[in-house]
């Protein structure tokens, strides 16, 4: 909504553009149009690959318990 990619591979896949020129007596009139296609998982009406800036939030992993007690019997080289 309101954001159009303009560089990189997504711009090649998501943007359709057209340029037309009209010759008039007073000069040349040019029109440039860019249309951004919508993401389509089936690939029929738009690109199959999602935009790379989509963020998926995963559930956090369970923390492992680490004891604060030193291991007895082994020396640690510093």
Q: Which has more confidence, 32 or 74?
A: 32
Structure tokens belonging to residue 29:
């009139």
pLDDT of 42 strictly over 80: yes
> What is the per-residue pLDDT for 50?
87
E strands within 1-78?
Answer: 15-24, 27-36
Q: What is the pTM of this model?
A: 0.56
Domains and CATH numbers, the chain: 1-49 (3.30.1140.32)
Contact 47, 14 (CB under 8 A): yes
Structure tokens belonging to residue 62:
């369970």
> What is the per-residue pLDDT for 77?
66
Rounded CA-CA distance 72/66 in Å is 15
> What is the per-residue pLDDT for 17?
94
- The CB density around residue 28, as the number of other CB atoms within 10 Å, is 8
> What is the per-residue pLDDT for 1?
58
């Amino acid at each position: 909504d309101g954001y159009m990619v303009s560089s990189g591979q997504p711009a090649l896949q998501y943007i359709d553009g057209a340029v037309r020129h009209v010759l008039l007596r007073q000069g040349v009139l040019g029109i440039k149009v860019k249309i951004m296609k919508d993401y389509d998982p089936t690939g029929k009406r738009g690109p199959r690959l999602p935009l790379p800036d989509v963020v998926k939030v995963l559930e956090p992993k369970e923390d492992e318990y680490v004891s604060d007690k030193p291991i007895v019997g082994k020396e640690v080289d510093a």
